[in-house]
Structure 1
Amino acid sequence: MNGHQGRGLTVDLSTKQGTARLSRPSDIRSIRLGDTKVSYVPDGDVRLRPLAMLPDTTEDVWAAHPEYLDPTGNLVGSVGALLVEHGGRALLIDTGVGPRTLELPEGPLHSIRGGALLDNLARLGRAPEDIEAVAFTHLHVDHLGWACTPEGDRPAFARADYLISGPEWEGRGDLTAEQAAALAPHVRTVSDGEEVFPGVQVRITPGHTVGHAEYVITGGGRRLIAFGDAVHSPIQIDHPEWSSGFDHDLARTAENRRRLVAELAEPDTIGFGVHFADVVFGRVEAGGDGPAWQPVDA
């Protein structure tokens, strides 16, 4: 065990208990970075058609990796947000899919359901009015579901600034006209390298969308990279060349992912995959016999 592996509890995905986590959505999970606490806040879960989701894969790939699939053969993922707490202050990154259930007959998305975000925030001791800022990785519907109240006419986090990269806000993403109008007075566009919260820096990584952003959180000698939809499933960590059916620019996203995977293998570096199954926090351990993504639970 090297030095950075000793800083946090790493789960072995080669065991039966470990592989079970790849086929179930995540509940609340928290880790500490010094004085900063970061928590995954579940909103719901998603099921994806593996061949449509990752078009460069084959039936043989999934036959060799059934641990990622549910009993119906769909890829399992989580939907939610990341709560960052420091010195009594609170930042939320993304807002889940909201109180909705959607099923599609074809394409990458099989089904998605949400609605639990506010209840899970309460389990973590936070109410919407406690959130001083909501930072978005991008404006797809499964990341902005609770940006507005279910009626769509006002922000759900009434006291918060809404932080969105300039290019992403310019395109408005999946926001309806009503939602965009309701949020506009609260939006503050952010730029690459900007510190948006103590120890939290934004970096713009176009590819999945034109203004996709990642957030780098540092504290206690460690850093965590909340990489949004740069990676949808931990299996892509082993194959960064596999872009998803939702990516805007497949080649650019693959290039970003190769860079990200290498960075996540550096000492004292943790990743956060908002759509990963019950392995949302992890580090990359390349060159071993098992998967490169190794969950971190502390």
Structure 2
Amino acid sequence: MKAQHKRFEVGDISIIPINDGTLITPTPPQVRGEDLPDFEVHKSYIPGDGLFYSDLGAFLVRSGDQLVLLDAGLGPAVGHDGTYCGASQPEELLREYDQQWRNFGRDEEFVRMRRANLPRTIVKHGNLERNLRAVGVTPEEITDVVLSHLHCDHMGWCTKDGASFFPNADIWVHAHDVDHFLGDRELNEIGMKVQFGVEGTKHRMKAALGQLKLWESDTNVAPGIDLRHMPGHTPGSSIAVISSAGQRAMMLGDVIHCPLELTDDQFSMMADINPALAHETKLRLLRELEDSDIHVASTHFPGMRFGRLLSSEVPNKRKFIFS
């Protein structure tokens, strides 16, 4: 396997990262090990300036007659110029945001920390359509959209201006996420609204509901593209496995947000709906990846680049190298 410019090759299959934007947050307090020799690889997104940088976007894969988009970014920039800060929300909404963290069992110190971090939490997005067209692809040509889960920063371009953005595509979503996010009960997504500035998932997916293709058991989407259910981050969280000519790569969704989650057993982004199950799922994935020839990436990885996981002499830690 080799990376060539932004395109990544897995056997005969090309994977093209399509950037939608960037999420900038204060460095999570649980980040450890900055002084370890192996931490150098993480400085592309934890540079030591007090901020943590996460890409937003999707992966484009052509397989036979199908043109598949893995995840769908945060979506069009609505009501602002593509740059958003949650601290700009009305105080009444911010108080609801505080209360949601309390409802999740967080103490007052955590609630104060999250509120204090909002002025330095910046989202820049809305670039996916332009970047998709830049590689010669129109939304109408996409045959399949695979959503690793239904958080707002992975399904955002399924609709635009109240209409389906990929009108000819099947939209693959695990049934457990459809039940959780799009079912009859009212889901409180105030945290996503404050952090990302977008409406709830149910509202944003409405125009594309007729295109949903639900799956439960691990399934095949196109030649060389398989989906695996890996719950914990959300009930239906999944990864995509690309296989061709004896080579494999995995798109990890939010099962793994960043390389640090691969290299440090104790690091977590604190965004998992079921933290215990998410941790168990991650450990199972790490055992499969460590010292294998499988290349991995996530839409949140810096530059959406691929890399490999290697063993380390440090207990409970591993090395990550970009491809």
TM-score bracket for the superposition, by shorter chain length? 0.7 to 0.9
Distance 1:249 1:241 in 2: 15
Paired position in structure 2 for 1:293: 320
Farther-moved stretch of structure 1 (204-213 vs 270-279): 270-279
Paired position in structure 2 for 1:141: 152
- Amino acid aligned to 1:50: T
- Amino acid aligned to 2:164: P
**Displacement, 1:176?**
4.4
Paired position in structure 1 for 2:235: 210
Distance 1:77 1:179, change over 3 A: closer
Tell me if the contact between 1:244 and 1:250 (Cα under 8 Å) persists in the aligned partners.
no
1:282 pairs with one of 292, 297, 307: 307
Farther-moved stretch of structure 1 (226-235 vs 272-281): 272-281
Paired position in structure 1 for 2:84: 102
* Higher share in helix: 2
Note the alpha carbon deviations across 1:28-77, whole angstroms, 9 max, x for none. 7211122211111111111122225xxx445xx45665824356411111
- Amino acid aligned to 1:144: M
Paired position in structure 1 for 2:269: 244
Tell me if the contact between 2:58 and 2:69 (Cα under 8 Å) persists in the aligned partners.
yes
Tell me if the contact between 1:29 and 1:41 (Cα under 8 Å) persists in the aligned partners.
no
Task: For structure 1, list consecutive stretches of 5 or more residues without a partner in the other structure.
Answer: 1-6, 11-27
2:122 pairs with one of 97, 111, 132: 111
Distance 1:130 1:266 in 2: 37
1:35 pairs with one of 6, 12, 19: 12
Number of residue equivalences: 266
Paired position in structure 2 for 1:19: none
When normalised by structure 2's length, the TM-score is: 0.75
- Amino acid aligned to 2:85: E
> Helix, strand or coil for the counterpart of 2:168?
coil
Note the alpha carbon deviations across 1:90-138, whole angstroms, 9 max, x for none. 1001111123333234637722221111111122221111110101001
Distance 1:262 1:8 in 2: 23
Distance 1:275 1:171, change over 3 A: same
- Amino acid aligned to 1:30: R
> Helix, strand or coil for the counterpart of 2:254?
helix
Distance 1:264 1:184 in 2: 35
**Displacement, 1:264?**
1.8
Distance 1:247 1:49, change over 3 A: farther
Distance 1:266 1:71 in 2: 28
For the pair shown, the structure with the greater C-alpha radius of gyration is 2
Paired position in structure 2 for 1:129: 140
**Displacement, 1:222?**
0.8
Tell me if the contact between 1:93 and 1:137 (Cα under 8 Å) persists in the aligned partners.
yes
Paired position in structure 1 for 2:168: 159
- Amino acid aligned to 1:230: V
**Displacement, 1:181?**
2.8
**Displacement, 1:87?**
2.6
